[in-house]
Structure 1
Amino acid sequence: MKTLAELSRALEAGETSSVALVREALDRILDPEGQGDRVFTMIDPERSVATAERMDALRAAGQAPSPLAGVPVSIKALFDLQGKVTTAGSKVLADAPAAREDAPAVARLREAGMVVMGHTNMTEFAYSGLGLNPHYGTPGSGPDRRHAPGGSSSGAAVSVAEGMAAMGLGTDTGGSCRIPAAWNGLVGFKPTARRVPTAGAFPLSQTLDSIGPIARTVEDCALADAVLAGEALDGAADVPALSGLRFAVLENYVTGDMTPHVSAAYQAGLKALEAAGASLTSLSLPDLDRLPGLNARGGIVAAEALAIHRELLDRRREGYDPRVSIRILKGESLEPGEYEALLATRAEIIATADAATAPFDAVLMPTTPMEAPLIAELDRDEAYYGSANLLALRNPTVGNFLDRCAISVPLPAAGLPVGLMLMGPTMGDRRLLAVARAVEATLAG
């Protein structure tokens, strides 16, 4: 499937129709040789086609609600869809009442005329960066289905990679948009958390949860982000010349344990940016080295997740994925007052990092230090699963902890995909998206 921007232009030019796009997406979802049954946990073909027919009629009458009207998108299974059960990738919620209304983020997509294809699979309750789900099956990454899709927005990314949707709506608490984007050769955007309303999305951490898109290009993410944030579709900043940009290359915390494959792609990417005229400066943020200690007992996420899940765990713990429940229950080990102290420490670290990064257009780092691991190896070895999960989450969590916007763009790499992460300042989202477009163009050239 083409990009959001390309599909929008094709629809406007009459070169295709929304019905054709939706039927193409459904064909791929329902292909018995494909993995649509693991990518989606729920589809609603009749409503999808009916919405497409309505968008085609509105466009023909010159009344399309936005340039993106009629484009098929997927929705992570933790978002409320009116009339559907919000499972959040878990079986313990499968018998919950259906949602009375769409989540605000979903409502904004529908108001723009985008066609919702259904709920996509995810790590149960969004609590892992690898994307495995024992309840609904695990979709393999688009480039190589033997490998993990990345999480927690696994189905969102694979739906885009395999042409089942033009954009996947995901959430990102510690990398859940950026990790699957990186491992599927896509772009994943984590906005500043406060920009997009999180109501109607089953929470993991009210402090760190962010809602963002996964798509084929930075331009597509910018278009989707504008809709999600309630901004004008033409509101993105002009794409700057790369030769005028200043990047900080983060040297501590995020560069250890890089695989040779990721290291080679990352170093080549940095050299390409420098050769194109960008200014690259090494930067260390010593406070980041404190994060493992701060998170030793689960940190902010486990504390907030435990508060959300305590009652449900008491009643139905046996129905949880044990790899998820054990992480939630780490919140029980926090000492009295530790959660409040963590929030205060976070605020101090944010202030220090803001001052150190103020001179730069973005901070650069590998999205993850390793490529996507094999699903079979993760299933076979619990210790390996645990270490791989921590390593996958390590770099992306920096953006969430610092309350930043961040984006993963593909790096040129032979073999499995590799992502380059750009981290921008708090509420500097539109500028970061413009800067990322300049980087994307350079790397693709």
Structure 2
Amino acid sequence: MNAVIVAVAVMLILSLLRINVVLSLVLGAFAGGLTSGMGIEATVQSFTKGLGAGATIALSYGLLGGFAIAISKTGIPELMIAGILKILNKNGTNRKGLVKVLIFLLIFMMSIFSQNLIPIHIAFIPLLIPPILKVLNMLEVDRRIIATLIAVGLIGTYSFVPAGFGAIFQDIVSTQVTKAGMEASSRDVPVAMAIPVLGMLIGLCVAFFVYRKPRQYQNNDVETESLNVNVSKFVIVSTTLALIVSLCAQIYTDSMIVGAFAGIMIMYFTGALNWKEADEILSEGMKMMAFIGFVMIAANGFASVINATGDIDGLINGSINILQGNTSLAIFIMLVIGLIVTMGIGSSFATVPIIATLFVPLAQGLGMSPLAIICLIGTAGALGDAGSPASDSTLGPTAGLNVDGQHNHIWDTCVPTFIFINIPLIIFGWIACVFFL
């Protein structure tokens, strides 16, 4: 049996059974390695070798978590809540519908801007979501829609918008397609991905309908009067300066670590972050993001074992050989393979180089046009980013929504995002590829 399928299946089944994601990744990696005939020693070596690749990401998210908590302690998020509550109870009129729309728009726009205008990726989540949870509880909003909303904002943006993380993803797609033997330009990627992204937006609309019913959470009694929050202008200016410096440092160095470190230092030296409380605050933020860090490290070990098995080639070639020139079915099979690989690795950015080498020659042999091939690679890469237990597009929303222990990573984030993002992405990705044929 194919080792890749075994590894991903073991990891997903264990995760669905509520086994810790890190343990599920480790056990899935060993199941795949042993199935491929690598043996225990070779599997351990391959897994250990891959762990180092996740260290940078883990440290980045740890520092960003500390930076986010430091900002939250300034009282600025409470000012935002006070404004929302003021709208909610203006003139004694219940305006829950308006507040829901404002919150949904705020979260969706931040998800989009985090990929380009303010390229901090998921670092905005621990800053924005925890303070809003009290209001969401009062409004009885189902948190599963928030997880889906964030994931669509993240994945849809980098798939379609050619700026920030989108420019990186689209450059990877065009570069890898070119290396695989077909000339491609990053300018073609947004055109090729327009229909698949439309599918994600439609899936989001369906999710809003499915999760429209009120869902109650514990401790949802929030004061309905405006909060008395006093934040000095100096703290606001200092925090704003820290955010600007963090953004500039990250853009200049292309490092989230440097960006977060610069922001924290500005808050230290301006006094926005109390020196006596700094250690406790930063530790709290790092603990909050530690889960993501460990999953990312384990996911890189998992990916290393999957690549070492050599069964990705066999999975693709075996699937295509039985199709006997049926292009439409071949496209669907390749998209499903992209889903399987990305679900295991947890990164669309890392999946593209793996699948492009194999998919491009096969697609050319099937007579697919350049635009159809770009759409195939881009969609197959993006597939699985939502729904994967090891993806930052699911880990990030969980980190923010589960601060009170009432949001399950698998059943409240991964399963909803898989249903309402991955399934529409496969359908509309297939339609787009056939259309561009």
Using the size of structure 2 for normalisation, the TM-score is: 0.24
Which protein is bigger by CA-based radius of gyration? 2
Structure whose residues are more often strand by fraction: 1
Greater helix fraction, Structure 1 or Structure 2: 2
Task: Give TM-score scaled by structure 1 length.
Answer: 0.24
